[in-house]
Structure 1
Amino acid sequence: MESNVFFENELTDWETVDDKIERKIVGYNQSIMMVNVKFKKGGIGEMHHHIHSQVTHIAEGKFEVTINNETKLLQKGDSFFVAPNLEHGVICLEDGLLIDVFSPMREDFIKV
């Protein structure tokens, strides 16, 4: 299972997660996945955990990021790493865009 080799932003619709969060899957195979996640101010990525390693880059906006009970205010240009099975979540303080990379891929994000 894998995505197309090239991703063209204009040809891909945003998937609604909730009223303040949308996402686009940019590319993936079994080993890795990249996802753009757009947040409106006040959007909440609820505290959760998963088996995947995750690296997230903040491309736009400001977020309160909590990982394993430690909270930091991060903004455009900052990044964070989440090891497998650690509780984590975000609160969007200013409209923003996160670029998430997961290993292995998030099979639960793929609609069959």
Structure 2
Amino acid sequence: MFVKTFPEVAADPGICRQVLSDSPNLMVVAFRFQEAGAEGKLHHHPHVQSTYVESGQFRFTIDGSEFEVGPGDSFIIPSGARHGCVCLTPGTLIDTFTPRRDDFL
């Protein structure tokens, strides 16, 4: 078994990102929100994204619809959907992307 260790990097203010594992077709990434109010700015990408809330509380927007999530919640963000979130309580999101986000490497 081959295990790679990736560094934690600053993503947006108050947010650190760490790739946990990757292959050309799949990538798992932890986003650690260190303070309430930290914002994953609205954006879109061609990748399908699955998000799992490991800890914390977040308000997400996906294509104009808003909803709140907490520990144990998960959902899918379709390819091309404009999305972002605001941290309500500090915590960690685990995102899975298919295919891999080469821009995170």
Same fold (TM over 0.5): yes
Contact 1:5/1:27 (8 A) holds in 2: no
The correspondence for 1:50, drawn from 45, 54, 57, is 45
Contact 2:7/2:19 (8 A) holds in 1: no
The correspondence for 1:6, drawn from 3, 12, 18, is 3
What residue number does 1:21 align with? 15
Gaps of 5+ in 2: none
Contact 2:42/2:85 (8 A) holds in 1: yes
Percent of pairs with identical residues: 34
Letter in 2 for 1:68: D
Gaps of 5+ in 1: none
What residue number does 1:65 align with? 60
Letter in 1 for 2:69: L
TM-score computed with the length of structure 1 as normaliser: 0.86
Name the CA distance, whole Å, in 1 between partners of 2:76 and 2:42.
Answer: 15
The correspondence for 1:85, drawn from 66, 71, 80, is 80
Q: Secondary structure at the match of 1:91?
A: strand
Q: Calculate the aligned-residue CA RMSD, in Å.
A: 1.5
TM-score computed with the length of structure 2 as normaliser: 0.92
TM-superposed CA distance for 1:99, in Å, is 0.2
The count of corresponding residues between Structure 1 and Structure 2 is 104
TM-superposed CA distance for 1:68, in Å, is 1.2
Contact 1:64/1:73 (8 A) holds in 2: yes
How big is each residue's C-alpha offset from its partner over 1:43-84, in whole Å with a ceiling of 9 and x where there is no partner?
A: 100111000000000000000011111110100110121110
Where has structure 1 moved over 2 Å in runs of 4 or more? Answer: 4-7
